[in-house]
């Protein structure tokens, strides 16, 4: 079979959308901001942020009356606090328009608890006595239209596991976007999956097996269909938190590549480090550092390409808290 190609596109950097107030823009209802230090001081060195304030974009001024999510007759609306106006449709329309323009994004950071931008747990007023939280209308529409896009809220980024998972997914999605810009072929797709095998095994062993079987039997399917299904499976799997048990499994797999090179003492040291991580005594970086040391000493081309070993710049130090 001739290896067809999905046409490439121009390649941008790692661009991440963000609620403008999180970068210190004074666009909130009271004329203030909600600066997120981790985004502004750390992530801004690795991501090109594209700030958006949907409330200002649809014509609400600064300052402005507060808006909130309201449940009316089973439908969620966005209304002024005093009920004087309703901006549900303008926010929805704006999100639909933006979803057509933001395909270049590799991630998005939303402002927590916002009736427009909150991705979860936004206070819901009105008739919903038993269900008092909802999703911001702009965020909900954007997530529906761009289902593969990694998203997170500023408050949740204070959690070390959620922070690491989000940043990892942004780099993974950008990696996929680069492949699409280069042009997807069956050979390149197999090579991409090969690099992500251990990352998938750490996050979702079931998806690791399923995607592997899918690609092994893909010769009769259209390439576009294969790429879409694979990317959806990949990004959904990476959303799952990598458990201590799964990390231990991957570390033991990686250890096996050095069984002929290491001395008995080195093997015992590495196994002991992995076991202490499994029991919660050492952080993930302890056995990872040993494996990286042995990989430098005994190079292995297959391991060196594994995304699991370098999912993002080491300087971010995101695995120190795992």
Query: What gap in Å lies between CA 127 and CA 172, rounded to an integer?
Result: 41
Query: What gap in Å lies between CA 309 and CA 203, rounded to an integer?
Result: 14
How many residues comprise the chain? 322
Residue 118 host element (H or E): none
Cβ neighbours for 201, distance < 8 A, ≥ 6 positions apart: 208, 246, 249, 250, 253, 308
Query: What gap in Å lies between CA 277 and CA 115, rounded to an integer?
Result: 41
Q: How far is CA 44 from CA 39, 41, 203, 207, 316, in A?
A: 6, 6, 26, 32, 11
Query: Quick one: angle between helices 88-101 and 137-145, nearest 10?
Result: 30
Counting beta carbons within 10 angstroms of the beta carbon of residue 304, is it exposed (0 to 12), middle (13 to 18) or buried (19 or more)?
Answer: exposed
Structure token pair of residue 81 = 């606090």
Residue 16 host element (H or E): strand 15-19
Q: What pairs with residue 48 in β-bridges? A: 15
**Contact present, 137 and 276 (Cβ < 8 Å):** no
Q: What is the mean pLDDT of residues 291-305?
A: 96
Binning pLDDT at 50, 70 and 90, where does residue 2 land?
very low
User: Per-residue DSSP letters for 249-301?
Assistant: HHHHHHHGGGTTTS-HHHHHHHHHHHHHHHTTSS-THHHHHHHHHHHHHS--H
- 189-198 pLDDT, tens digit per residue, is 999 999 999 9
- 55-85 pLDDT, tens digit per residue, is 999 999 999 999 999 988 888 999 998 888 9
Closest CA to 94 of 65, 116, 125: 116
Longest dimension (CA), the chain: 75
Answer whether the bond into residue 131 is a cis peptide, omega within 30°: no
Q: How far is CA 128 from CA 82, 124, 134, 291, in A?
A: 18, 7, 10, 53
- 159-180 pLDDT, tens digit per residue, is 999 999 999 999 999 999 999 9
| Beta strands 122-126; 67-72: pairing state | parallel
**Contact present, 95 and 141 (Cβ < 8 Å):** yes
Q: What is the mean pLDDT of residues 221-246?
A: 95
Binning pLDDT at 50, 70 and 90, where does residue 3 land?
very low
- In percent, how much of the chain has pLDDT > 90? 84
Q: Give the phi and the psi of residue 107 in degrees, each rounded to 5.
A: 180, 175
Structure token pair of residue 8 = 């490439």
Nearest-5° Cα angle at 286, 282 to 287: 110
Structure token pair of residue 236 = 């959904």
Q: How far is CA 302 from CA 65, 197, 236, 246, 299, in A?
A: 58, 11, 25, 20, 9
Binning pLDDT at 50, 70 and 90, where does residue 133 land?
confident
Higher pLDDT, 129 or 73: 73
Binning pLDDT at 50, 70 and 90, where does residue 131 land?
low
């Amino acid at each position: 079979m001739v290896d067809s190609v999905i046409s490439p596109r121009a390649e941008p950097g790692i661009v991440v959308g963000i609620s403008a107030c999180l970068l210190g823009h004074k666009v909130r209802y009271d004329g203030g901001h909600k600066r997120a230090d981790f985004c502004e001081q750390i992530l801004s060195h690795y991501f090109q942020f594209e700030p958006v304030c949907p409330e200002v974009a649809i014509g609400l001024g600064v300052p402005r009356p507060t808006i909130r999510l309201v449940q009316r007759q089973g439908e969620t609306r966005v209304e002024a606090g005093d009920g004087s106006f309703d901006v549900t449709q303008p926010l929805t329309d704006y999100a639909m328009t933006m979803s057509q323009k933001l395909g270049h994004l590799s991630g998005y950071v939303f402002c927590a608890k916002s009736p427009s931008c909150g991705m979860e747990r936004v206070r819901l007023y009105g008739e919903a006595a038993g269900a008092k939280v909802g999703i911001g209308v702009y965020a909900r529409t954007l997530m529906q239209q761009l289902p593969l896009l990694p998203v997170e809220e500023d408050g949740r980024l204070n959690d070390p596991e959620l922070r690491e998972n989000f940043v990892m997914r942004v780099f993974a999605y950008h990696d996929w976007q680069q492949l699409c810009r280069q042009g997807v072929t069956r050979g390149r797709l197999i090579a991409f999956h090969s690099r992500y095998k251990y990352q998938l095994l750490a996050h979702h062993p079931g998806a690791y097996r399923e995607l592997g079987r899918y690609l092994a039997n893909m010769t009769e399917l259209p390439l576009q269909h294969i790429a879409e299904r694979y990317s959806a499976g990949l990004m959904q799997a990476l959303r799952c938190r990598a458990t201590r048990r799964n990390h231990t499994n991957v570390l033991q797999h990686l250890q096996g590549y050095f069984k002929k090179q290491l001395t008995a003492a080195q093997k015992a040291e590495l196994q002991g480090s992995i076991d202490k991580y499994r029991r919660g005594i050492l952080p993930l970086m302890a056995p990872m550092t040993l494996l990286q040391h042995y990989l430098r000493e005994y190079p292995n081309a297959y391991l060196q390409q594994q995304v699991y070993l370098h999912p993002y710049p080491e300087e971010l130090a995101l695995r120190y808290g795992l």
